[in-house]
Amino acid sequence: MPTAQMKQRVAVIDQMTAEWHSIGRSVAAVRALGAVAERDPLLSALVLGTAGGPGPCPTPCDVVEHMRRASGRTQREEAARLVQVLLRESDADAFIGRMLVQALLPGLITVAGKLRWGEGGDWQDGEEFFGELLATTWLILREWAGQDRPYAVLDLLSAIRCRLRRQLFRAKELGEHAATLHPDEAAAPPARAETDLEELARMLVDLRRAGMRNDDVQVLYAHHVLGYSIAELAAMTGRDRRVLYARRDRGQRRLCA
């Protein structure tokens, strides 16, 4: 990938980071974080130093940096739990949503990479694509604000990736179809058969309705439909790889039964 294009792609990320360093330490931001911390023991221990916690993170900037430095199973699970808390509380204060976007930024960059920064889509360049990704993130956060999701990190990144992927596939399919159309056929809507991935996604939805365990469905969907590796899922959710492999294998047996 050309260096100039790489610089163009990260410009919006650099802007977000610079903005965050300012607003993430403001009085209003600290006040918003403190209000949420009073309602959650984990965040309270982290921010206020209660319940035996060291309290090393008095500002939202500190909390997000703490989440990014998470290593090992316990810390990753804690970081994932904090995302769950922020999503649940994001309808109380608009700033909490902004904090959640910043916490998700590394995952959003990973999603952009998985989708090849919109290559083949309707976007002019990677920066425009990432802007679309951020807009989609805000839309989903607004739709899900106040929800308490045990797998909030995976759910959010999967939903964001799925929506952008649909846009990307739609653009590619329309482009390929337009290239082969006779002029007289250009106005006719294309008839499209269900792809293998869409068929699998539909089967998983049907199996969940039929009583398949929700955890198994989530792992199969993220692994086979969205394309995340088990290692990536373990990093995003804080779950042990062996547990995720077991759920994947159990789900596959049910899928193939």
pLDDT in tens, 159-204: 899 888 888 877 555 544 444 444 554 444 444 444 555 566 667 7
Mean pLDDT over residues 233-247, rounded?
80
Domain count for the chain: 2
Residue 8 CA to residue 60 CA, distance in Å, equals 28
**216 and 105 in a common domain:** no
15 and 128 share a domain?
yes
Token readout for 155 is 């759910």
Tens digit of each residue's pLDDT (9 = 90 or more) over 75-111: 899 999 999 999 999 998 989 999 999 999 999 999 9
- The torsion defined by the Cα of 139, 143, 147 and 151, in degrees rounded to 10, comes to -50
User: What is the gyration radius of the CA atoms in the chain, in angstroms?
Assistant: 20
pLDDT for the residue numbered 168: 81
pLDDT value at 10 more than 70: no
Answer yes or no: do 172 and 210 share one domain: no
Query: In this model, does residue 123 exceed pLDDT 50?
Result: yes
C-alpha to C-alpha distances, 195 to 44, 89, 173, 206, 219, nearest whole angstrom: 47, 38, 12, 17, 20
* pTM of the shown model: 0.67
What is the extent of the structural domain holding 251? Answer: 193-257
121 shares a domain with 27: yes
